[in-house]
Copies of this chain bind each other. A is one copy, B any other.
């Protein structure tokens, strides 16, 4: 048997597009080799002509999302370096949160693709422009990466539906319901701050945390940190 079907119709990008669609529609667990193959109208094992295994597909998928962040705009020397770091981190957060399924995938694959490397390179360049020496820049870059990754992970963990997340206001409301059920007798302090917690897991809170991290990294760039902290409030 084995009818060959049309040749040369496939490409890695076509497979990755299909994977992307599955990720958006069904979440991280919905991305399967068989699903990708079905979507492009091909036998499951045809995928193995382009990728050695599933991990390679997921790795390319993750790196592709990181490639959607245009890094060149953060290299503008007119912009203060601290603002450029913040802009880059926020752009990353927004891109990852737009495709929440990708975050679960990031935990499983090492971030060594070309686009991940490019982001790291940009970050090191900005930090270097800020006057940090090589070692300081390396440590700062690691700390900032930790922050972005951790913040996005926690924010995504609260979403149960796959696909692009609902507006921030709706997410706050949904969280409030869950937090309201914290038993006051067992966890008094958690219950006391539940309403606050529900309210502040937002982009503003992400920026607030980022400012604190930068204050710790480069105290001399902090413009009266406590003022900034209080200013973010209301």
Q: Which A residues fall within an 8 A CB radius of B? A: 28, 103-104, 107-112, 117-118, 120-121, 124-125, 128, 134-139, 141-143, 145-151, 153-154, 156-158, 178, 182, 186-190, 192-193, 196-197, 200-201, 205, 208-209, 211-217, 219, 222, 225-226, 229, 233
Contact = CB atoms under 8 A, between A and B. Distances in A.
A225 B225 CA distance: 14
A128 B190 CA distance: 12
A233 B153 contact: no
Contact of A233 (B121, B135, B150): B135
A205 B146 CA distance: 12
> 9 smallest A-B Cβ distances: which pairs?
A150-B150, A216-B216, A212-B216, A215-B216, A146-B150, A138-B193, A124-B189, A149-B150, A107-B107
A200 B216 CA distance: 18
A193 B137 contact: yes
A121 to B, nearest CB: 5
Nearest to A211: B216
Given A107-B107, A150-B151, A217-B212, A193 B143 contact: no
Nearest to A136: B229
Contacts of A143: 209, 212-213
Nearest to A215: B216
A190 B137 CA distance: 10
A59 B107 CA distance: 17
A117 B190 CA distance: 8
A150 B156 CA distance: 13
Contact of A146 (B158, B197, B209): B209
A136 B110 CA distance: 34
A210 B226 CA distance: 19
A107 B104 contact: yes
A212 B93 CA distance: 21
Given A196-B134, A212-B216, A146 B145 contact: no
Nearest to A206: B146
Nearest to A29: B108
A104 to B, nearest CB: 5
A225 B233 contact: no
Contacts of A147: 146-147, 150
